[in-house]
Structure formats: C-alpha cells, structure tokens
Amino acid sequence: MQSLIDQAARLLAQSSRVAILTGAGMSAESGIPTFRGPQGLWRQFRPEELATPEAFARDPRLVWEWYAWRQGLVAGCHPNAGHLALARLEQHWPSVDLITQNVDGLHSRAGSTRVTELHGNLFQARCVAEGTVRDFQAGDDLPPHCSCGALLRPHIVWFGESLNSRVVEKAVAAVEECQVLLVVGTSALVTPAALLPVMARRSGAEVLEVNPQATAASELAAAAIRGPAARVLPLLVDQALALRGD
C-alpha cells in the first residue's frame, strides 16, 4: 500500500487544481453506516419504502421518523481523521473542490469550506409547496409543517429525483477543470455522481481512489489505494504537503 500512497502523493503534489468526490465510506469510521455492503443501511431498510417521493407521499410520518433517527445518529458522531486531512489539504492547496454525496455535514464540521453537497443535507428541510429550504432538527411532532401549512420534507435527493442543476453544474465544472480527482469511499454505482470520475478522466485528469474494496471507479484510477479513509488520507495528505514543501 505504501508504494501506491507514494505514487498518489506525487500526483497530488504536481497538481494545483484538485477535486475530491466522497461517499458514505468517508464517514464509516465516524460511526455512520454506509448504504450498501454487509453492514449497510439498505440491508436493514428498503429504500423504496423510505427514500423515494412515493414513500413520502404514502407515509410522511414513517419517512420523517427514519430521518429523525439518522439526525440523532449523525449528531452524536464527529469528523474522523480523513475528514480533517481533507480540510487540511484545502487550507494548504491552491484549489480544492470537495464534492460529496454524503448528507451528514461532516466535511463542513471538519473545516472544509468549498463543499458541494450533491444529495442534500440531513439537517435541512424543504417546504413541499414553496420550495424554501431551512435548517431543521426534527422534534416529536412528525411530520413537520411549514408556516404556510404545507408539509416540510427532508432536503435530500431521493431515488428517481433530479439533482439541483446548479449543484450538478458546479460539480461537473470542478471535475472537468481539475488535474487530479480523488475518489473516496463510494461504490460509484449511483448516477449522476458515478459519472464524475468518467468525466474527469475524459478531461485528462488523473483519478486516485481510496477504498478498502474495488469499485466501479477503480478501473479509471491511476492509483487505487485499498484502505480505510481515516487511515489512508492523513498519510496521503501529509506526504503530498511534504513534497510541496508545506
């Protein structure tokens, strides 16, 4: 693994424009379950019953109870050494754009500032009538309502829903302009996020991957480092900073 970290650190050190794509594995060592895999959330819950607009229309209270449970889980978790390493990279690098599929807000809590949240945020809600978004912590009275009387829904992109077009444009611009795309902790199965590594390669960027398992993005990677994010990222970032003389 060390020789792959060396190779990846050299590629990072040579690149002033870096983009990062993260997924659920990024937060696994903070104690937040991933979606797929043996311990994944989807092993316990059926996505079509909880993470679709149809599920919300059928039973908004059930859907909100699931999100209230996840809010509580995430509120008790902290950014791990991987999140902190990526925030350190941004502080010392000319340009780092962080694109995340995660809705847990841990990158911002770790100190990253240029974060694009592709799938929304667990701690925000949206009025189904007005479309307005607000910070939101679920209480006992579920489902919650807007002051206009309409239902509030989690500000999360569910299956079959389109992502916000401005958010997607920002992510696409970041991967098309970067010299290195670092892909961390995603199975790279869910589109359109899964297409970002393909776009980066087509635009001439090198792709680096950090994930204990091979994924759909692995074949694009110049270096696929098979290890957990909280262990690999601090080593990778420290080495890249040292090579740049920071």
**Quick one: 73 or 243, whose CB is closer to ligand BJW?**
73
At 53, phi and psi to the nearest 5?
A: -65, -30
Tokens of 95: 């340009």
Under the criterion CB under 6 A, does residue 121 sit at the interface with ligand BJW? Answer: no
Using CB under 6 A as the binding rule, whether residue 30 contacts ligand BJW is answered as: no
Q: How far is the CB of 39 from ligand BJW (least distance, A)?
A: 9
Q: Is 53 in the site for ligand BJW (CB under 6 A)?
A: no
- Dihedral sign for Cα 13, 25, 169, 91, please: negative
Cα-Cα-Cα-Cα torsion 221, 227, 230, 234, nearest 10 degrees, comes to: -60
189 in contact with ligand BJW (CB under 6 A)? yes
Q: Assess contact for 189 and 197: CB atoms under 8 A.
A: no
Catalytic residues: 119
Distance CA(88)–CA(164), nearest Å, equals 28
Nearest Cα residue to 143 out of 153, 131, 157 = 153
Cα distance between residue 145 and residue 5, in whole Å: 49
**Per-position b or e across 15-44, b if 16+ CB within 10 A of its CB:** bebbbbbbbbbbbbbbebbbbebeeebeee
From candidates 220, 229, 235, 237, binder to ligand BJW by CB under 6 A:
229
Report, in Å, the least distance between residue 228 CB and ligand BJW. 3
Check residue 222 for interaction with ligand BJW (CB under 6 A).
Answer: no
**Dihedral (Cα; 53, 37, 191, 128), 10-degree rounding:** 20
Tell whether residue 1 is a contact of ligand BJW (CB under 6 A).
Answer: no
- Least Å distance, CB 49 to ligand BJW, is 12
Residue closest to ligand BJW (Cβ): 25
Contact between 72 and ligand BJW (CB under 6 A)? no
> Which residues, 165 to 184, sit near ligand BJW by CB under 6 A?
none
Shortest Cβ 186–ligand BJW spacing (Å): 4
Residue from the set 6, 10, 37, 65 that interacts with ligand BJW by CB under 6 A:
37
Interacting residue with ligand BJW among 15, 30, 121, 215 (CB under 6 A)? 215
Neighbours of 137 (CB within 10 A): 12
Confirm or reject binding of residue 98 to ligand BJW (CB under 6 A): no
* The residue type at 196: L
Does residue 85 interact with ligand BJW by CB under 6 A?
no
**100 beta partners:** 22, 117
Rule CB under 6 A: say whether 106 interacts with ligand BJW.
no
- For ligand BJW, how many residues bind (rule: CB under 6 A)? 35
Q: Which residues bind ligand BJW (CB under 6 A)?
A: 23-25, 28-29, 34-37, 40, 51, 101, 103, 119, 156-162, 185-187, 189-192, 210-213, 215, 228-229
